[in-house]
Structure 1
Amino acid sequence: MGPKLDDFEIISTIGKGSHGTVRKVKRNCDGKILVWKELHYASMNISEKQGLVLEVNVLRELNHPNIVRFYGHYVDRQAGMLYIFMEYCPGGDLHKIIQKCKKTDSYLEEGFIWRVLKQVCEALRTCHDKHTKGGEIILHRDIKPANIFLDKDGNIKVGDFGLARTLNSGGSLARTFVGTPYYMSPIYIDE
């Protein structure tokens, strides 16, 4: 049996999106701080609902120190809500750190930048190395500063696998373009 909403106390709201809210919560049994991502799936179209199922399945499969840890999920069918319980990253996200640097006219230390790059690459290598039970490759498809979080020790945690896709074999290709346009790689079209 997975977690239930009554197992947690809401501490604060961290963010809001088009389909849901992210809240900082405390688990009652041990006081552990987590986040829950609450998503109103009843208002989503079929492909968005399929994306939610994929996100839960991907998070369940991935276990790496540089990927946000999944603690379970809860479905409230009556309210049409999905709750995903994940690791809380008190260091915030890289986007906010960059914005703070811009406001204060300061720079990130070179050592920090190298650590971010190394740890993001390690997380992505885990996704790409067929670490799922079915031996599938996982493509994140939305790597950007807002989806790179920091834990209490300043370690990187890649999160938000909402646009992820799994590939069954090394020869299969992802043929769709999704993600945040500002962070997408250039598209090469062979004519």
Structure 2
Amino acid sequence: MVSRMDPYEIMEPISGGAFGAAILVNHKLEKKRYVLKKIRLARKTERCRKSAHQEMDLIARIKHLYIVEFKEAWVDKGFYVCIVTGYCQGGDIAALMKKSNGDFCLNILVANIRKYLHSKFVLHRDLKCFNIFLTKDHDVCLGDFGLAKTQKAGDLTSSFQIYNFCCTGCCIYEMAAHRPAFKAFDMDGLISKISCPSIGALPPCYSPSLF
């Protein structure tokens, strides 16, 4: 019996958790590496299963230079949603910031991603430096659309726009300052800080009027 996994060779696990697993695979014919995300459906709530299918459908229809490449997706025997995307060899921005003290010139690219998603009525809902990846050539790619949702054109609200702008701003601040814009010990504390924002100063290499 032919399997959708037949063209791929499993290389190594990348991450895992309650959602399922992310696995590095190699396409045998193309000789190219991809990431296989397996989202567990068994023993999950209807809401979780619906979310997994939404992620599969959404990422299949968005194509942009700065969004992780979509290869293919399928449902494996009703137990897993399988999504194959491009492999970003450079890791994520958050990890890179820990290794480097240098400045980042990615702000305009992150803003371009936000603008594209907004044009497609997509709310990412998990836009952070951990989900912004780099290719081996250090091109930026946004990934992980597990929490994303699509808004209808008539449903766009000011809160939709504010959320997109706010998350983009937090990422840009973190890339500039090498620290999160808001940090707290728990969710209540985080909400409190966001509601009454007091953001720390940027490093002296930036103009005080930037923020």
TM-score range, shorter chain: 0.7 to 0.9
Distance 1:164 1:15 in 2: 20
For the pair 1:95 / 2:89, whether they are aligned, the reply is no
The partner residue of 1:108 within 78, 102, 106 is: 102
- The aligned residue for residue 153 of structure 1 is 137
Percent identity over paired residues: 28
- The TM-score, its normalising length taken from structure 1, stands at 0.78
Cα 1:43–1:94 change in 2 (3 A) is farther
Give the CA deviation at 1:42.
Answer: 1.2
- The aligned residue for residue 21 of structure 1 is 21
- The TM-score, its normalising length taken from structure 2, stands at 0.71
Q: Which amino acid in structure 1 is aligned with residue 129 of structure 2?
A: P
- The aligned residue for residue 77 of structure 1 is 77
Q: For structure 2, which runs of at least 5 residues remain unmatched after alignment?
A: 168-181, 184-189, 197-211
Once the two structures are superposed, residues 16-46 of structure 1 have per-residue CA deviations (whole angstroms, 9 ceiling, x without a partner) of 1222111111111221111100111113211
Give the CA deviation at 1:88.
Answer: 0.3
Larger radius of gyration: 2
Q: RCO higher in 1 or 2 (8 Å CA, sep ≥ 6)?
A: 1
How many residues matched? 167
Give the RMSD, CA atoms, in angstroms: 2.5
Give the CA deviation at 1:156.
Answer: 0.7
Give the CA deviation at 1:170.
Answer: 5.3
Q: For structure 1, which runs of at least 5 residues remain unmatched after alignment?
A: 102-106, 131-136
Give the CA deviation at 1:172.
Answer: 2.9
For the pair 1:165 / 2:155, whether they are aligned, the reply is no
- The aligned residue for residue 104 of structure 1 is none
Distance 2:194 2:56 in 1: 29
Give the CA deviation at 1:98.
Answer: 2.2
Give the CA deviation at 1:100.
Answer: 2.6
SS of 2:52's equivalent in the other structure is helix
